[in-house]
Structure 1
Amino acid sequence: MAAAVEILSMIEREPGRSALYLDIDGTLLDIAPTPEAIVVPPELPNQLAELAAKLDGAVALVTGRSIARVDALLQPHLFPVAGLHGAEMRLPDGRFIEATVSADFLAVKEELHARAESLEGVVFEDKGAAIALHYRLAPYRKAEVDALMEEAAVSTGGGWILQQGKMVVELKPVQSGKGRALEEFMSIAPFRGRRPIAIGDDLTDEGMFAVATAAGGAAIRIGDDAAPTAASARLGSPTELRRLLASVACRPPGNGHG
């Protein structure tokens, strides 16, 4: 934890030189049994807005969720977002980079939804240009979910790839990737020229960890698992992260520690 605290203290010491990239599920928010059961602490959206103001807007959300869903979770604030693992983006100036879908993908989505309904405990999530099957409620379904999603990936005709996560398998656009999203943000204001600090909890976040550390920044992996990681430090839970970010957001300039 000490290493993570030291990394976050960079923001207090040099807010004008720092940029923050945050995953959502399992990082800012505690993982729930289903995607719709997620709970957003009421103070979190405003705290993120305060943090963004402190960093002159250099706070971005990099997530597997769609931008529309992120906005619903964090209303009334609209942050720069890389949604669907970077397949869609809202840039700081409000411009959108949208993901497109094919007829083959739409047909696969419809069939996958129908087949998933027969698997008790498996939750189908429609993300627009991506699909996820969650099996947190039925871990014994992993092999069935993997096989179903592998078949679906082939049926799309090659434009979508599989992404493993914690009790979830996603079918996402091939051009997506959190590392690529980070590079896109880092090339534009207000992120350009700042030290990137990336925070996530899962295999899907390892790409942005690698990009952040290679650029002279740092990365924090949330959770107490022992999985190999490119992150510079670990932090036990989303609760700990929220507490630390709230402290950074609310502390007046000049009162940092370390």
Structure 2
Amino acid sequence: MTNAQTTEISEPSPRETIANLIASIVSEPERYALFFDIDGTLLDLAETPDAIKVPEGLTDDLIALSAHLNGALALVTGRALSYADTLFSPHRFPIAGLHGTERRLLDGNIIRAEPTAEFLEVKQRLATLPESFPGVLVEDKGAAVAVHFRQVPELANHVGEAMRVAIAKVGAGYTLQHGKMVLEIRPDNADKGGALEAYLAEPPFAGRIPIAFGDDVTDEAMFKLVNAKGGKSIHIGAPTDSTIARKRLSRPQAVRDMIASIVRKRLY
């Protein structure tokens, strides 16, 4: 990591720099378990979910980092697990999808919640929302549904009202999740913090210091869990962003640079 990249980091707690953390992961990989959000953290955000791209070399770097950690690396995302797999195909990382509603274990087994009939009916109705509000994008995630309004931010209030009506019709067992220019209805029995806690109870994650990277309000549950366990929480974004994370990187490229730095130092 260059000096220019290091200066992008704002540290609320300056006792340990990102450079020191890189050195620790390189020299003592058995101590750490790493958890990465995907959109806005590993990958740059785009106007639509399907427009997000994986930079060349990132998948290989993640595979190498996972091997260095003896498998103690997982992706934790609001995306469906199946979609996340298409990004990093053909490799299959341990992934908690839909904020932890579905979770792949290291051995490949998947634990997931099944949607209710009420939810499926509401999801079908929401699919017609763009007819009334052009520019709004409805993302069917299987056990969850998200409505994006990044391209039409002036429709935020209309989308919010539609989703409040929808969540009332779904009934018990679901929650309305707010994100960056998106509202999502998902099962309420899981969040990203719970997903991390489940991983940390299993090998090879158990007994390690958790390090979590995220950029959105949904990642705050990860940061809360990691902070409580004495781990490292790293927010991706501007210094003005509100977060309980204790460290900060400016943008996804800085995260990718950090991963590459660990991998290169490990090799040499």
Identify the TM-score tier after normalising by the shorter chain: over 0.9
Mean Cα deviation higher: 227-236 or 32-41: 227-236
How many residue pairs match? The answer is 254
Is 1:238 the counterpart of 2:247? The answer is no
CA shift in 2, pair 1:179/1:162, >3 Å? same
Equivalent residue for 1:23, pick from 37, 44, 47: 37
Q: 2:73 aligned to 55, 59, 78, which one?
A: 59
Note the residue ranges of structure 2 that are not aligned, 5 or more in a row: 1-8, 12-16
* 1:68 partner letter: S
Q: Which residue of 1 aligns with 2:193?
A: 179
Q: Secondary structure at the match of 2:211?
A: strand
Determine the C-alpha separation between the residues in 2 that align with 1:100 and 1:10. 41
Structure 1, gaps ≥5 residues long: none
Closer/same/farther in 2, CA of residues 8 and 141 from structure 1, 3 Å limit: farther
Aligned to 1:134: 148
TM superposition shift of 1:158:
1.7
Contact 1:7 1:218 in 2 (8 A): no
Maintained 8 Å contact 1:27/1:237: yes
Report the Cα distance in structure 2 between the residues aligned to 1:15 and 1:8, rounded to whole angstroms. 10
**Equivalent residue, structure 2, for 1:101:** 115
Structure 1: distance between partners of 2:116 and 2:199? 27
* Deviation, structure 1 residue 240: 1.1
Q: Which amino acid aligns with 1:48?
A: L
* Structure 1 residue aligned with 2:176: 162
Q: Which residue of 1 aligns with 2:206?
A: 192
**Alpha carbons 1:27, 1:238 under 8 Å: kept:** yes
2: CA distance, partners of 1:173 / 1:181: 13
Q: Secondary structure at the match of 1:226?
A: coil
Using the TM superposition, give the Cα deviation of residue 154 of structure 1 relative to its aligned residue in structure 2, in angstroms: 0.8
Whether 1:7 and 2:21 are equivalent positions in the alignment is yes
1:86 aligns with 2:90: no
Q: Please name the residue that 1:113 is paired with.
A: 127
1-side partners of 2:201 and 2:39: how far apart? 26
Distance 1:60 1:146 in 2: 32
CA-to-partner distance for each residue in 1:4-61, whole Å, 9 max, x for gaps?
4433433113111100000000000000000000011121111100000000000000
The structural deviation recorded for 1:248 is: 0.5
CA distance in 2, matches of 1:110, 1:168: 18
